[in-house]
Amino acid sequence: MISAKQEVQALLERLPEDCGLEDVQYHLYVIEKVQRGIQAANEHGSVPQDEAEQRLAKWTTE
């Protein structure tokens, strides 16, 4: 498993040299949310794509 420090170092290597602190904060936020989503799916299960589409179809109108 990759450590938080390694994750930040990898992020900084991928970002352009002229990025600002807000860019770094945003990308760290996204990484954290994705990791939490994966953890939640592993712990509580997930919904297959077709079922998710059916559920969303009830909420949206065309």
Domain boundaries, the chain: 19-62
d(CA 10, CA 31): 12
| Band of pLDDT at residue 49, cut at 50, 70 and 90 | very high
Report the first-to-last Cα separation within the chain, whole angstroms.
Answer: 43
Residue 60's pLDDT band, with cuts at 50, 70 and 90, is confident
pLDDT given for residue 36 in this prediction:
96
Q: Which pLDDT does position 22 carry in this prediction?
A: 98
Q: Is the model's pTM score more than 0.75?
A: no
Residues in the chain: 62
Estimate to the nearest angstrom the gap between the alpha carbon of 36 and the chain centroid.
Answer: 8
**pLDDT tens sequence across 3-46:** 999 999 999 999 999 999 999 999 999 999 999 999 999 999 99
- pLDDT score, position 62: 62
